[in-house]
Amino acid sequence: MIERNFLPFALPDISDEEIQEVIDSLQSGWLTTGIKTKQFEQEFAQFLGRNVEAIAINSATSGLHLALEAVGVSSGDEVITTPYTFTATAEVIRYLGANPVFVDIDTRTFNIDTNKIEQAITPKTQAIIPVHFGGLSCDMNSILEIAKTHNLAVIEDAAHAIPTTYDGNLIGSLDSDATVYSFYATKPIATGEGGMLVTRNSDIAQRCRTMRLHGISRDAFDRYTSTKPSWYYEVVAPGFKYNMTDIAASLGIHQLKKVWKFQEKRAQIAQYYNSQLSTLPLLLPPQAPNDNLHSWHLYVIRLDETANISRDEFIQQMTSQGIGCSVHYIPLHLHPYWRDTYGLKPEDYPQSLATHQKAVSLPIYTKMNQDDQERVVKSVKEILLK
């Protein structure tokens, strides 16, 4: 029986600032893409620096789709990514009639194994989508060098990775073609649904803005907020409906202001877990190297071979003690669509398979207090030390 005071796996951290900004939007009568979306974009670009352009969108999924379309991925092309991710990373490739080519992970990091990327490149390869798993950066220097050598686009799936850094630079400010963030309810900053696409390539930015709203040649913000007659527009491409609303942006404006505080709290929880769980029969999550920042969107342990319990039974017992856990992820090649479409077998990606079979995501979110953290640790110890 689940306890009444169930500790969830994740919760967003919303305060009065966000609530009042949403109320202001509701009272203004402006609910769709408008002034607050523009403000959120501008402040996000300023946060990253290096002349980044930011395009607010309704999900990271739509952002990845827009970015792939903007760099020219089309039917019959191939895009390299990891099977150890949520299906959105790969499904957007299929939206364009292209095919994902999966490369196994490095089990030390959960991220794509850069030593295996080049052998997956073919004449059809057009792009690489590295996924910064859990908020830990991929080896971007290696990936960018491979892409440069083979003339490939790089689109970073940074759904977990704000404010992650690599070589001292924020993810989103590197030399990739585009980077896409998620602001889903459980992400490091949350707008319920939503995301941001960033790029330093003005052509990519313009194409994404056009395709974000039905292929209309004028930016939605300009067309809908101009004080001059602005009824005229032209449709220049069969675009999509991927724009962010001002209500979502109202949340994002204030969530972004708290991003460093949020990261500090998540890191504190991660370090507490590390200190308390290090002697148990499990592998702790990888740390960010060289004083870089890990966003700690996820805290994923892996049960050791010596653990006296299976992963699934562990999660069941944690649930019975009132603590929510999850699994990130079921590798894509195990899912019916990807398995059957591409004739994949479980052993095709052995590192992803082995990692998945032992992985458990423990609760980690900024509203957790010390008692919450101690409950998690106490339950993990009780279960693994029986």
SS3 per residue for the chain: CCCCCCECCCCCCCCHHHHHHHHHHHHHCCCCCCHHHHHHHHHHHHHHCCCCEEEEECCHHHHHHHHHHHCCCCCCCEEEECCCCCCHHHHHHHHCCCEEEECCECCCCCCECHHHCHHHCCCCEEEECCECHHHCCCCHHHHHHHHHHHCCEEEEECCCCCCCEECCEECCCCCCCEEEEECECCCCCCCECCEEEEECCHHHHHHHHHHHECCECCCHHHHHHCCCCCCCCCECCCCCECECCHHHHHHHHHHHHCHHHHHHHHHHHHHHHHHHHCCCCEECCCCCCCCCCCCCCCEEEEECCCCCCCHHHHHHHHHHCCECCECCCCCHHHCHHHHHHHCCCHHHCHHHHHHHHHEEEECCCCCCCHHHHHHHHHHHHHHHCC
Enumerate the active-site residues: 187
Pairwise CA distance, residues 88 & 335, whole Å? 13
Cβ distance 60 to 84 under 8 Å?
no
> Angle CA(179)–CA(265)–CA(36) in degrees, nearest 5?
50
